[in-house]
Amino acid sequence: MLNATIAGNIGADAVTRVAGQTTVTGFNVAVEQRGKDGKKTQWIGCSMWGKRGETLAQYLTKGGKVCASGELTTREHDGKTYVELNVSELTLMGGAPGGNSGGDAGFSGQGGHQERSAQERKALDDEIPF
């Protein structure tokens, strides 16, 4: 098993779909790599299975910043290699530009968001199952 941790920006709002007897929430993360040739963006397809993914989907919106850990895999399709992460741990690092994300709880000064009140943070903490 190959485990990895990535940090980057969500490319589009997360989508939850039914897969057999459970659900899977999918989203893509753009990870910037810097090297001799300048910077390059690597897209990582992420999947979260079950209720936890369903609950977090509302916070996984385009432009939001996340840090995710889990099992890293690759797959081939039409001659291209795709990198995928089966997420086991997820940290919401900030909201999307323009205030479209609820994932900014407890963060101030990011993207013009104001810090949430203690009561709002507690309500969010009660909703998130971890």
C-alpha distances out from residue 60 to 2, 37, 85, Å: 24, 31, 15
> CA 127, 71, 8: angle at the middle one, nearest 5?
65
Return the percentage of the chain with pLDDT > 70, whole number: 72
Place 114 in a pLDDT band, splitting at 50, 70 and 90: very low
pLDDT tens per residue, range 30-67: 999 888 889 999 999 999 999 999 999 999 999 999 99
Scan for tokens 């897969």, then name that residue. Answer: 19
Decide if 111 contacts 99 (C-beta within 8 A): yes
Decide if 103 contacts 60 (C-beta within 8 A): yes
